[in-house]
Structure 1
Amino acid sequence: MTGQGLEPQQLGAYFAFAEAASLLQHHVEQHLRAEGGLSYVQFQLLARLAEARSLTMTQLADGVVYSRSGLTYQAGLLEQAGLITRGPSVDDERATLVTITEEGLALVRRILPGHVQVVRRLLVDPLSNDDVRHLGDIMSRVRDHMRAQPPRSAAPRRRRAPRSV
């Protein structure tokens, strides 16, 4: 069975990649929930903010490839937990600026070593140094190709059809 226009080797590579990514994400998510009470998306948001300290909601949505409504919900949960703050941007009054709090930074610092251990054990350890370099090169090219497309935040919002009574 081949997909439309994919050779068996290409289809096999796709399925192997998809399965490995799902397995890695599952184990990472288990660790994040157990050690920090965070979802994978929440950790991604906090990790990006730990690096940048502050980003707009649009920058966060584009960075973690998440929907606007989903990001707003996740940011609300993180704000309620005291891990981030949200407020108006001084550079753009239409933008909401998200800033990580000291509590958020402390949480990222606390769970990051275990996160790294999970990634090392599942992804890095079975590979040689050359494999890791090649994988990094390949995935960087794929990511850059995908990122060359317009960001999700640039897509127009779909209008809901009026409800009939």
Structure 2
Amino acid sequence: MADTRWLTESELDAWMAYLKATHLLERRIEEQLKTDSGLTHAHYEILAKLSIAPERQLRMSDLARKLVVSKSGLTYQIGQLEKRGLVERTTCPSDERGVLAVLTDEGMRCLEKTAPGHVAVVRAFLIDQLTPEELRAMTRIMSKAAAAMIQDGRRPPGGPTSPKGPA
């Protein structure tokens, strides 16, 4: 524990503000999606990614990468969306081992119905709260954090056995 760089008061304030805001925003998004369409945020993201893909379809492995989720987690979510008729799975024509997730017409209609409310929540509670300069800074900050995590892979700093602090 002697090697641990504990958060300073200002760093801890920033961390706690980030956690509070992201949890509250996620809760608002989940409420809106459930009310408007019965979707979860994860389901909405899947539909949104498929809607902008060529022919509204992606290989499952590519979709998992774009969503930053495990393949098994995505398989479960796709199964739920299939039961609702919003997505279907099909074999990849160029590779029999590959599976495509395809947005159905019903899935597109559901997304089109739900998207305005989703955008309204994101805009009201995040985007419209920031100045253009703050929005650019947020983009730089979050992109920098994401790049560091992607570059580092899944190993936490200090190794998997390092003691955890109170943050």
- Give me the identity figure in percent: 38
Q: 1:99 aligns with which of 94, 97, 102?
A: 102
Q: TM-score, normalised on structure 2?
A: 0.81
Within 5 Å, which residues of 2 pair with 1:35-54?
35-52=36-53, 53-54=56-57
1:148 and 1:93, CA in 2 relative to 1: closer, same or farther beyond 3 A? farther
Q: What is the deviation of 1:4?
A: 4.2
Q: Distance in 2 between matches of 1:16 and 1:93?
A: 48
Q: Distance in 1 between matches of 2:20 and 2:145?
A: 17
1:136 matched residue in structure 2: 139
Task: Summarize deviations over 1:17-49 as a string: whole Å, max 9, x none.
Answer: 122111111100100010011011111111100
2:81 aligned with 1:78: yes
Count of paired positions: 149
Q: Which runs of 5+ in 1 are unaligned?
A: 152-165
Q: Distance in 2 between matches of 1:79 and 1:19?
A: 33
Q: Which amino acid aligns with 1:105?
A: M
Q: Distance in 2 between matches of 1:40 and 1:149?
A: 27
Q: Which runs of 5+ in 2 are unaligned?
A: 155-167
Q: TM-score, normalised on structure 1?
A: 0.82
Q: Distance in 2 between matches of 1:129 and 1:42?
A: 30
Within 5 Å, which residues of 2 pair with 1:105-144?
105-144=108-147
Q: CA RMSD in A?
A: 1.8
Q: What is the deviation of 1:125?
A: 2.0
